């Protein structure tokens, strides 16, 4: 009881200090920044998907060009063979006509020279086409290799996220059926914890059971330093009428998200740069607020785990 009174006195002192307006403004600015960062991450994932489709389209176009070049090569080879056959025929005719008049010999010699010139032109065209074909083949192989590397990297990221989801589910097994769910979608892992596991009504103080769940989650995150962690606070649509220094549900959701971040930061292995706290108030419900059950589902903390995309972005830039 004495401990609770001390905490209450400390809280009143903090919230009645002269910097309460600055705290509110900082939180508001921080939320705006976090919202932009979250939007950027979402746009990055969508951009990567579009880039992959573009690479596949480019690959198909190169394949078509390669096939056209092969057909052109076959035609040039056929023309070359026909020209060579004509030359042999003319040589035979020339030999037979050597005894004829000088005029006939001169005529055949001129035609022979013309055919030789045509043959040389076709040989040059064939060599040029072979060079273009080799160039297209090399570019096609290079693009194909980069596309395969990108697909493998994306597959590795998805596999790593599946392993992370399984590790989190195993670490939080004791909290199944207590308002906690873990799922994977769109290349991310989502951990949802209802308020009944974490907070009392209108409060952002995390209870013992909720703190244990967050600490066990933190132990898994500490082993995965390449994961970005976004903690979102959510409320139902009932207007907040608790602490007078909070403007409403949005402030309350931000406070709760920050409380989860502070617990995770107790684990010194977790890099604080990977952590982001955001309050979303009542504006992202997952159930109807018309029922008590729906409101309970909407009052939650969502921890969204996203793989860092630096390597994929670098590969796309190289392409």
Q: 251 near 297, Cβ under 8 Å?
A: no
- Average pLDDT per 10 consecutive residues for the chain, totaling 319 residues: 57 54 78 79 74 81 84 83 83 74 74 85 86 79 71 76 85 82 91 92 91 95 93 94 84 96 96 95 95 94 86 55
pLDDT of residue 260: 97
Taking the alpha carbons at both ends of the chain, their separation in whole angstroms is 64
pLDDT of residue 59: 82
- Phi, psi (degrees; rounded to nearest 5) at 181: -135, 150
Task: Please state whether 248 falls in left (phi above 0), alpha (psi between -120 and 50) or beta.
Answer: left
Burial class (CB in 10 A: 0-12, 13-18, 19+), 160: middle
Residues 78-122 have pLDDT tens digits of 888 887 888 788 788 777 766 676 777 677 888 888 888 888 888
pLDDT of residue 311: 53
Residues 208-244 have pLDDT tens digits of 999 999 999 999 999 999 899 999 999 999 998 877 7
Tokens 């330093």 -> residue: 225
Q: Which residues contact 10 (CB under 8 A, 6 or more apart)?
A: none
Whole-angstrom Cα distance, residue 148 to residue 35? 33
* Angle ∠(28,188,164) on CA atoms, nearest 5: 115
For the chain, what's the residue count? 319
Whole-angstrom Cα distance, residue 61 to residue 102? 57
Instruction: Count CB neighbours of 122 within 10 A.
Output: 18
**Buried (b) or exposed (e) across 68-103, using 16+ Cβ within 10 A?**
ebeeeeeebeeeeeebeeeeeebeeeeeeeeeeeee
Whole-angstrom Cα distance, residue 261 to residue 182? 18
pLDDT of residue 14: 52
Q: Kindly give the pairing relationship between strand 275-279 and strand 227-234.
A: parallel
**Which DSSP letter does residue 98 get?**
T
Q: Which two tokens stand for residue 57?
A: 């389209």
């Amino acid at each position: 009881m004495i401990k609770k009174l001390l905490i209450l006195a400390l809280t009143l002192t903090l919230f009645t200090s002269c910097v309460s307006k600055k705290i509110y403004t900082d939180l508001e600015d921080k939320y705006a920044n976090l919202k932009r960062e979250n939007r950027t991450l979402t746009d990055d994932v969508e951009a990567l998907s579009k880039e992959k489709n573009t690479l596949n389209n480019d690959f198909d176009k190169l394949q078509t060009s390669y096939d056209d070049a092969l057909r052109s090569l076959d035609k040039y080879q056929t023309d070359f063979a026909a020209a060579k056959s004509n030359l042999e025929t003319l040589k035979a005719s020339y030999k037979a006509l050597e005894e004829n008049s000088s005029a006939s010999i001169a005529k055949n010699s001129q035609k022979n020279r013309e055919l030789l010139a045509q043959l040389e032109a076709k040989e040059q065209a064939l060599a040029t086409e072979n060079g273009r074909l080799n160039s297209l083949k090399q570019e096609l192989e290079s693009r194909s290799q980069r596309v395969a590397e990108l697909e493998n990297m994306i597959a590795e990221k998805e596999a790593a996220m599946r392993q992370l989801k399984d590790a989190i589910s195993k670490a939080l097994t004791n909290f199944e059926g207590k308002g906690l769910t873990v799922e994977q979608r769109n290349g991310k892992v989502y951990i949802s914890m209802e308020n009944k596991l974490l907070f009392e009504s209108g409060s952002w103080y995390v209870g013992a059971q909720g703190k244990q769940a967050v600490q066990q989650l933190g132990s898994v995150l500490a082993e995965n330093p390449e994961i970005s962690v976004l903690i979102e606070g959510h409320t139902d649509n009932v207007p907040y009428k608790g602490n007078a220094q909070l403007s409403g549900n949005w402030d309350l959701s931000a406070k709760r998200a920050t409380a989860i971040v502070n617990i995770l930061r107790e684990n010194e292995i977790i890099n604080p740069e990977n952590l982001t706290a955001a309050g979303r108030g009542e504006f992202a419900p997952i159930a109807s607020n018309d029922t008590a059950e729906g409101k309970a589902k909407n009052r939650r903390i969502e921890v969204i785990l996203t793989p860092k995309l630096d390597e994929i972005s670098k590969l796309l830039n190289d392409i």
